[in-house]
Structure 1
Amino acid sequence: MPQIIKGIAASDGIGIAKAYLLIDPDLSFEKKTIDDPVAEYERVEKAFSASIADLATIKQNAKSRLSDEELEVFDAHIAILSDPEMKSQIKDEIE
């Protein structure tokens, strides 16, 4: 038997399409004391580098489907992850 999900209509009329259920992600985290701030900051740097590489790959794969203007969102995210001021603040917080 199909599952019935009720919602609120955004406009009058009928729409036929796949339905997606949006679920709030679990953003909880555990606070802990860092014994080696240098190693922790290196871990953050690796995560940022991996994220930048992932975004570049996604952007490259999306080039055939998105306009240049739409692709700029990837550049904005990469710029945020590359921001030296933000990285400095993170480093200060870790230390």
Structure 2
Amino acid sequence: MAATRALAHEHRVAVVAVRHGLNLAACWCARLLQLAVGLTAAGDPPDGVMAPAAPERACGVSAAVLPHPDRPGVPLVLLAGRAASSLHCVGRPLA
């Protein structure tokens, strides 16, 4: 991911990546687009998308969002219950 980010910066191009890991995406992506059932649920920098309500809205799972201990300005998402052992969710209709 570091090499991809460096190449994108060097050549002034955008990189589109599909990530199901919320924390990995928050660490490496300047902007996130969260989809729920094919619709845009949120699109902002990671700290705007990774609000506690976002996983609930998109996937129906509860989450705690904390400041990342090693990366200032990056959120750390902790999924609750069974979702904590899953790397992704399939989504559900927006409320």
Q: TM-score, normalised by structure 1?
A: 0.22
Question: Which protein has the bigger helix share?
Answer: 1
Task: Give the number of the structure with larger relative contact order, counting CA–CA contacts within 8 Å between residues 6 or more apart.
Answer: 1
Greater Rg, structure 1 or structure 2?
1
Question: Which protein has the bigger strand share?
Answer: 2
